[in-house]
Amino acid sequence: MARVAKTTAAHRKALMGQMQFLGQRASTETALFHQAAAAKWGLGITDTKTISVLLQEGPMTAGQLGRRLSLTTGAVTNVIDRLERRGMVRRTSDAKDRRKVIVTVNEKSLAAADQLYRSMGKAFEQLLATYATAELEFLVRYFRATIELTKQEITKLA
C-alpha cells in the first residue's frame, strides 16, 4: 500500500509540474496571439488590452484605466488619444462630476476588428463542446481562481 501511495504522490507531483509548464506555454501563446492580432489592427498590445479591459469591465476614467493597466498618466493619455483618433473609443464627460472624463468603447468601430477573434472563438467553442458539464464546471472554477491569483501577483509587483 505504501508503494501505491508513493506512486500516486509521484504521479500527482508530475501532473502539477506539467500543469505549471503548460500554463506558461499557454500564456506565451496567448500573448503572441494578442500581439499578432494587435499588429493586424495596426495597434500595439497595450492599445488592444485597453479595449479588452473596457469591454470586459465597462467604461472608466483615464485614471482608472491607468491603474488597471499599470500605466503612467502620460502613457494612458497617449493610448486613449491613439484609440480615439481611430474611432475605437470616445471620451465623454462624467454626468456626476464634469471634471472627470469617462472612456468608452465605440463597439460599432470594432465590428471589423472582431473578425480577427472570431476564428479563435469558434475553435475554443469546438474544443469546449468536447467536455462534459462537470469538466466545464471544473474549468470555470480553475480559470476564476487563476485570474484572482494573477491579479494578486500583479498587485504585489505594483
Torsion of CA 132, 133, 135, 139, to 10 degrees: 130
Strands in 101-105's sheet, in edge-to-edge order, are 60-61, 101-105, 89-93
pLDDT in tens, 90-118: 999 888 888 888 999 998 887 766 677 88
| pTM of the entire predicted model | 0.79
pLDDT in tens, 38-88: 898 889 999 999 999 999 999 999 999 999 999 999 999 999 999 999 999
The hierarchical CATH code for the domain 43-109 is 1.10.10.10
Is the separation of the CB atoms in 106 and 89 below 8 Å?
yes
Instruction: pLDDT band for 122, please (50, 70, 90 cuts).
Output: very high
Q: Where are the domains of the chain?
A: 1-42, 43-109, 113-158
- pLDDT for the residue 1: 61
Go through the chain and tell me how many residues it has: 158
